[in-house]
């Protein structure tokens, strides 16, 4: 018996280390890495002419490409492509496409960009007062100063209670505390900016005096973001994904990190009948468009974080697919934040209310970390910090 097995290696670094173990030379490893590191890349809306050229060039490079059956006889005008190849094969393909006609050069540029983005690991959270390398998973503690949030609504509405809870999360190891004064639970009604500020202002003001943990303001309103950041908060978490142009310009002016989240519709209606053609494709397309708009609006790329919006206009199946395929969002080239904590999809799977979802939340969180999450937004800080340490240790 020779003890053969299939290697389940999920990064170039793991492949490199495995080759080192068997005594491969350093120059040889660099050459072989390009042949061992296989990727699937999906490109949407490619014209038939370009699709046929790309398929032929990928075949000649030793890889392959799946296309609509109608591309061969031109019975369709365009096709999505799924490219299959190693790094070496992609290099050959891209060099050929750069000298091909039609839009082949533009397609090559986008494929090259997403391949580079997918491998990016050197993210740094650049807050006004400190820089945090994302070489480990950060834990963002949730502090809802609302009467109607889905999990802890009313629990921390009184300022003193909220302040004490914020202090406790800091002691438990939270890297960031995310404070919000407006519920975005499904079917929730909006509140005025004045009411939102009335709820969060005293809590933020006091916590800034008591803890060193950076504070994030969870809001969709530019006036709230501006006032709270000017008080000392260091980050904006916008669940509406910078749809408001005034919010975009405000964040650019404040020059703080911002979370751009995907939400289907509005909190009041988002869960009525959520539908997608391709849930991950639709989310990535939306986030890419919002990121492009944000950069054009003056927000630095190094200040952007993306969030797929678990539970915001998604079914149970959608949420599970997002966690399972979260790594695809690495193609955008930004740190990924995910908030699965206590969400309804966990409750439906476990048949458990909000108070009985900790284990499910931790499982979804760890799966998200395995699949690419850089920041996890949680209610149960102590338990999450411990689980994160193990998840990070496994993947270090």
Using CB atoms within 10 A of its CB, is residue 393 exposed (0-12), middle (13-18) or buried (19+)? Answer: exposed
Contact between 318 and 274 under an 8 Å Cβ cutoff? The reply is yes
How many residues are listed for the chain in this entry? 396
Query: How far apart, in whole angstroms, are the C-alpha atoms of residue 339 and residue 288?
Result: 19
Contact between 299 and 248 under an 8 Å Cβ cutoff? The reply is yes
Catalytic residue among 377, 382, 386, 389: 377
Contact between 153 and 144 under an 8 Å Cβ cutoff? The reply is yes
- Residue 377: CB atoms within 10 A of its CB come to 25
The single-letter DSSP state of residue 374 is S
Cα–Cα separations (whole angstroms), residue 87 to 63, 105, 119: 10, 18, 11
Query: How far apart, in whole angstroms, are the C-alpha atoms of residue 377 and residue 356?
Result: 18
Catalytic residue among 16, 226, 343, 357: 343
Beta strands in 253-395 (DSSP E): 258-261, 304-307, 337-338, 375-378
Spatial CB neighbours of 279, under 8 Å, sequence gap ≥ 6:
314, 318, 321, 322
377 counts as catalytic? yes
- 176-180 and 138-144 as β-strands: parallel, antiparallel, unpaired? parallel
- For the annotated catalytic residues, the residue numbers are 343, 377
């Amino acid at each position: 018996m020779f003890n053969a097995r299939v290697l389940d290696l999920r990064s170039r670094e793991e492949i490199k280390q495995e080759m080192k173990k068997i005594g491969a030379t350093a120059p040889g490893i660099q050459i072989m890495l390009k042949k061992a590191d296989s990727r699937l890349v999906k490109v949407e809306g490619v014209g038939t002419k370009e699709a046929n050229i790309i398929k032929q060039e990928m075949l000649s490079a030793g890889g392959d490409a799946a296309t609509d059956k109608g591309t061969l006889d031109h019975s369709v005008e365009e096709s999505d492509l799924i490219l299959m190849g190693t790094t070496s094969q992609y290099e050959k393909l891209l060099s050929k496409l750069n000298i091909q006609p039609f839009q082949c050069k533009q397609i090559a540029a986008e494929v090259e960009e997403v391949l580079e983005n997918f491998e990016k690991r050197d993210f740094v959270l650049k807050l006004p007062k400190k820089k945090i390398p994302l070489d480990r998973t950060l834990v963002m503690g949730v502090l809802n100063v609302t009467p109607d949030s889905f999990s802890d609504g009313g629990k921390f509405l009184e300022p003193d209670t909220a302040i004490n809870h914020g202090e406790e999360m800091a002691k438990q190891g939270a890297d960031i505390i995310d404070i919000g004064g407006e519920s975005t639970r499904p079917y929730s009604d909006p509140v005025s900016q004045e009411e939102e500020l009335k709820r969060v202002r005293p809590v933020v003001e006091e916590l800034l005096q008591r803890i060193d943990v950076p504070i994030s303001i969870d809001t969709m309103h530019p006036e709230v973001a501006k006032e709270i950041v000017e008080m000392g908060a260091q980050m904006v978490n916008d669940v509406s994904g910078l749809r408001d142009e005034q919010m975009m310009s405000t964040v650019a002016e404040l020059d703080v990190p911002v979370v751009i989240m995907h939400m289907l519709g509005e909190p009041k209606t988002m869960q009525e009948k959520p539908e997608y053609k391709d849930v991950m494709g639709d989310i990535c397309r939306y986030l890419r468009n919002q990121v492009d708009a944000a950069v054009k609006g003056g927000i630095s790329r190094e200040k952007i974080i993306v969030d797929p919006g678990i539970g915001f206009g998604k079914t149970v199946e959608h949420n599970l697919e997002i966690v399972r395929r979260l790594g695809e969002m690495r193609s955008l080239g930004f740190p990924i934040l995910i908030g699965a904590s206590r969400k309804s999809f966990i409750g439906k799977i476990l048949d458990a209310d909000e108070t009985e979802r900790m284990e499910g939340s931790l499982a979804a969180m760890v799966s998200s970390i395995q699949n690419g999450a850089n920041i996890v937004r949680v209610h149960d800080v102590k338990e999450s910090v411990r689980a994160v340490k193990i998840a990070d240790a496994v993947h270090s």
